[in-house]
Amino acid sequence: MTTPGADLWRLDGARTRSISAENPTGAPGAGARATDGTGAHAARLLGSGWKVSPSIALADGETATLADVSGPGVFRHFWLTTERTALCALTLRMYWDDEPMPAIDLPLGNFFCNGWGELALLSSEMVVVAPAGGLNSYWPMPFRHRARITLENRCGQTVPVYYQATYTEEDLPDSIGYLHTRWSRTPRLGTPAVHTILDTVSGRGRYVGTYLAIRPGAPGWWGEGEVKFYLDGDTAHPTICGTGTEDYFGGAWNFDLDGTYRTYSTSYLGLHQVLPPTEIYRPDQRFGMYRWHVRDPICFDRDLRVTVQALGWQDAGAYLPLTDAAIATTAWWYQS
């Protein structure tokens, strides 16, 4: 995977296509041709070409195919917006090269670092969530023969879905990796207080991102737990071991500045959500944070497993396993 934004100056024959409700196939010259759609009434005095089909209405229980295109190519930008309260009840799936199982299969909100059902804005290199619910992904997603993106609705009502998936038709090198995600949720950790972010995957790849949503379930500081990467045959002990949860996400000292959690959102890491934002060290507070391993990918040759400990701090000066913690994570990685 190349650095985002690299080689913008290259004129190498790639062609840009974009799929939306206004051009469902992405075909050349096929945009804004609709004569009916969700904007037809508003455009009734204007005629063809005037925002007749800007979105789709996705009924409860239905799955919409947002994109189904032939390769080779690379998705460069994926934007979507919908009913904000439904982010956890819509399932996003992406299939590469006619594989029967999706490489990406998770609640829509968790792909965009919004796992708590309350909108959290963030501004990063790979994911941007903009007012008032614009979901943007800049993860490069290559495919050789075919790519398919679907969205399933299980929220109990019909929701509007506006979307645009932009890709380039281009030749690909032999060494490409396909983007995968793994969503994992543990409602109550129990003993041991360890959550598996990514169970063992086999093959060669690069781990490139983590989103963590946690409710600690106990008062006091909750982020002493280490994030561990078990590489290429590691068993009891990992090759890469961090020094604490807030440290892994680029923060320090409990995220506490003058008795207040301070949120931040940067290009590659952030603590972008604290609920409620006015409290500190409460057991039922909820947090969302992300880290993109774009400048520092975790490369593996044979296999990879990733875990995080849920570990708090006792007033007596001892660690406290957070057995009542609730954790949900999303892992991003490229794999051959």
Domain regions of the chain by residue span:
15-176, 179-335
| Average pLDDT, 10 consecutive residues per value, the chain (336 residues) | 57 90 95 91 90 95 98 97 97 96 98 97 98 97 98 98 98 95 98 97 97 98 98 98 98 96 98 97 98 97 98 93 98 96
- Which pLDDT value is given to residue 98? 85
Task: Kindly report the CATH number that applies to the domain delimited by 15-176.
Answer: 2.60.120.1390
Predicted pLDDT at 8: 62
Contact (CB, 8 A) for 211 and 290: yes
Nearest to 176 by CA among 212, 200, 205, 213: 205
Model pLDDT, residue 13: 83
Stated pTM of the model: 0.95
Same fold, 15-176 and 179-335: yes
Q: Which helix (H) or strand (E) holds 96?
A: strand 90-96
Neighbouring CB atoms inside 10 A of 164's CB total: 18
Provide the pLDDT for residue 316.
86
pLDDT of residue 7: 63
Q: What superfamily would CATH give domain 179-335? A: Protein of unknown function DUF2961 (2.60.120.1390)
Distances (CA, A) of 110 to 31, 114, 182, 213, 317: 30, 5, 10, 9, 35
What residues are paired with 303 via a beta bridge? 202
Cα separation, 35 vs 330, whole angstroms: 40
